[in-house]
Chain A
Amino acid sequence: MKTDTRLRIIKIISEECGAKPIELVRRLGISAQAVHRHLKALVSAGSLEPRGRGPLTRYFIAGAVEIDRARQWYSSIGKPAESPSEFICETRDVLSARLARLSSLAGMGLKEDDLPLVISVVGEVGNNSFDHNLGQWRDDPGCWLETQVTGGRLWICIADRGQGVFRSLSRVDPALQDEQTALLAAFERTLSGRAPEQRGNGLKFVKNIIAGSEKRGLACRSGAALVAYGQLGGACQKELSRFSSQSCGTVTLIVWGLE
């Protein structure tokens, strides 16, 4: 039945975080024409949205964030096969320039009062990558910074291939026994891997801002550790649960409701 097939299409696309029509043809064992008919109906109904053009078009759950490229870059055991310059900020200067570009979000439904907060949150998390990993990068230096506006929300993904929070903080507080405890300490305590330098309040700032509205959320993964904050933190946590727990770096996903 049409409904069953369409439910199966949605299930496949949800599990795979996107799919091309040809992949659906193979998985479902039906004709390409039938797949396209179902996809057209699901797009009209607002259940799916196409991204890309021509043969590269992939279909996604409408409103869902798509951070598979970030996931592959972050999760790669060896040097990543792809390091797209459009997302990688190899130095702080590049990160600063990309922060300035966030001003364009004001025209995409971000409230005027929220823009300064979004920029400062991204700045704190992004600069943390450099503060704690300078000279400690596994391979690709710098951080991944990607923004998406979809489903009435702004999604921001910041990731690095550094040493990870546990290795950074356990050096200054040996009482931190595991990755989860260390990641929680990073957000909850004024503690820095750069001790004895007086610092360590950046993530507290980020947590406060995320908690400041029910339309915000954040999740952060470093190794096997995963934490989430804010009303929409669960949505971010669900996405980051697909990122490798074997990777040593740190990845943060922020979601911000738009008007």
Chain B
Amino acid sequence: MRIKLKRFGSILTSRPAGREAALAIKAYQRPDADENIEIDFEGVLSVGPSWLDEVLSELRREFGSSRVICLPTKNPSAIESLRVIDS
């Protein structure tokens, strides 16, 4: 299952907004039992670690860390955000 983050906006910042996005994903996009969740950054202008942390933490908690996979991206804000989140 692929989550296209651009559907949440082109600028993704703030923890409250990330929390709301995570809840919406859990409500409307549920993966099959053996399906991975791919996080797609294509089309996003900027994403901050606070927003992304809320989304990834919630999805990892709900479905397991090994099933939540961030697709490769050249977006520098995504790269830097993942660097602090996963450090």
Contact = CB atoms under 8 A, between A and B. Distances in A.
- Same complex origin of A and B: yes
Contacts of A198: 53, 57
A127 B45 CA distance: 18
A102 to B, nearest CB: 9
A208 B46 contact: no
Interface residues of B, number: 25
Interface string B1-36: 000000000110111110000000000000000000
A38 interface: no
A127 to B, nearest CB: 4
B48 to A, nearest CB: 4
B84 A204 contact: yes
A201 B18 CA distance: 15
Contacts of B78: 116
A122 B45 CA distance: 14
Nearest to B49: A205
Given A120-B13, A127-B15, A205 B45 contact: no
Contact of A205 (B11, B16, B75, B81): B81
Given A124-B50, A201-B53, A205-B49, A119 B77 contact: yes
A131 interface: yes
Interface of A: 92, 96, 99-100, 103, 113-117, 119-120, 123-124, 127, 130-131, 198-199, 201-202, 204-205, 208-209, 212
Kindly list the 5 A-B residue pairs having the minimum CB-CB distance in the complex, ordered from nearest: A123-B13, A119-B46, A116-B77, A116-B46, A120-B77
23 contacts: A96-B11, A96-B14, A99-B11, A99-B46, A100-B11, A103-B45, A115-B46, A116-B45, A116-B46, A116-B78, A117-B80, A119-B11, A119-B77, A120-B13, A120-B46, A120-B49, A123-B11, A124-B49, A198-B57, A199-B50, A202-B49, A202-B50, A208-B83
